[in-house]
Amino acid sequence: MAQINEELIRQVFQEMSKYRPSLAKYLIVDEDEDEEVDYRILGDQIIKNYPWPIGVELRRLFSASMRELDRMRLDQIFKTIERTMQFVSFVMLSQLWQDAIKKKITIPDGITSEFENRMSVLSMGNFTWMIRAVGNLYQDAKQEWFMPEISENFDKKFYAALDFWVPERNEIGHYQINLTQEEIEKRCVEYEEKLMFILLKIAFLAKYSLVSVREIKVMKPKNRDAKFHHVVDLLNSADSDFAAKEIDEEKFSESHSVLLMKSIKSIEEYLNLSPLIIDTHSEVLDTKEKFGIKKDIFMYTKFRGDHMMYIGTEVTEKCDLRALSNYAQLVEEFKELLGTIAPTKSSVEA
């Protein structure tokens, strides 16, 4: 009998390898020596090749403490799918915001009329609505995605697969019904298969790199064009000790932002995911007011009374991030997002 996670790891890794062929080397074994594929290594590569907000949840799901078909594993499957939907919806919203500013796409009333209310307090139901609404908008407008693979993979079957999770999350995830041990075991098996379907559909994320811009410096030698020295942290990792990379180019990106890049070698093409996803690792805790700030990658979750609330990816406790040095800028950018996507409903003045 296959071990817990083994089939999920096998299929997702094979699909990832189509988009990142260099991964295939981990499948090479010496059959004469009776070697077998080490699924722990494959699982580790899956974690590293999904963006951190998804990878860290898979790290938890693949951990030794989650290898029993129990309530803890069931809850982690829910958390993994929810973070996956959240990340995907943030990527799609970030491009919609950018394309709307550049007049590349017109946002219909069906989205503008609901967007602000849905965006003010996020839920799994709101993630599925955003993914479907924006996905259908781009399909109808024949607008190209930053990640073209979205058009190939986000279809009616994919949207239906997302819809499955909403009532399940509301009832089971929020403990509105009590499950017997037998029911928990069955759902763990069933939900793992459904999670695998979603992960297969977004395996193309392995082609892209998630980075955090830690620092940008201008380098201007005499009689030469200026170059911009970027120091970025690579947010594709099995742990939060993110590796750093330096990039020198004549182009520059946005400071203290989380970027989805087509190539880590160049700033040429990227999608800025901030203020929906932020990195607090570079924040200096130089005042007592900042002592409550945790160093983590945070994802937006709620906006109320000019207060943006975030949830950590590795940090589990709630954190008030209003003491961040760039907090006012984050709020301003979020209001700009609302005002761009829902100008008729937004409270932001044009």
Domain spans of the chain, in order of start: 6-207, 208-273, 274-350
Report which of 90, 26, 84 is spatially closest to residue 276, judged by C-alpha positions: 90
pLDDT of residue 120: 92
- Dihedrals φ, ψ of 342, to 5°? -130, 65
pLDDT of residue 348: 41
The whole-number average pLDDT for the span 268-277 is: 94
Report which of 63, 62, 57, 64 is spatially closest to residue 82, judged by C-alpha positions: 57
> Could you report how far apart the first and last alpha carbons of the chain are, in Å?
61
The whole-number average pLDDT for the span 285-297 is: 93
Residues 125-164 have pLDDT tens digits of 999 999 999 999 999 999 999 999 999 999 999 999 999 9
Kindly report the average pLDDT of the chain as a whole number: 90
The whole-number average pLDDT for the span 16-30 is: 89
Confidence category of residue 46, pLDDT binned at 50, 70, 90: very high
| CB distance 276 to 309 below 8 Å | no
Confidence category of residue 2, pLDDT binned at 50, 70, 90: low
pLDDT of residue 253: 75
Question: DSSP characters for 78-103?
Answer: HHHHHHHHHHHHHHHHHHHHHHHHTT
* pLDDT exceeds cutoff 60 at 24: yes
pLDDT of residue 79: 95
The whole-number average pLDDT for the span 65-86 is: 95
Confidence category of residue 33, pLDDT binned at 50, 70, 90: low
The pTM of the full predicted model, rounded to 2 decimals, is 0.92
pLDDT of residue 318: 85
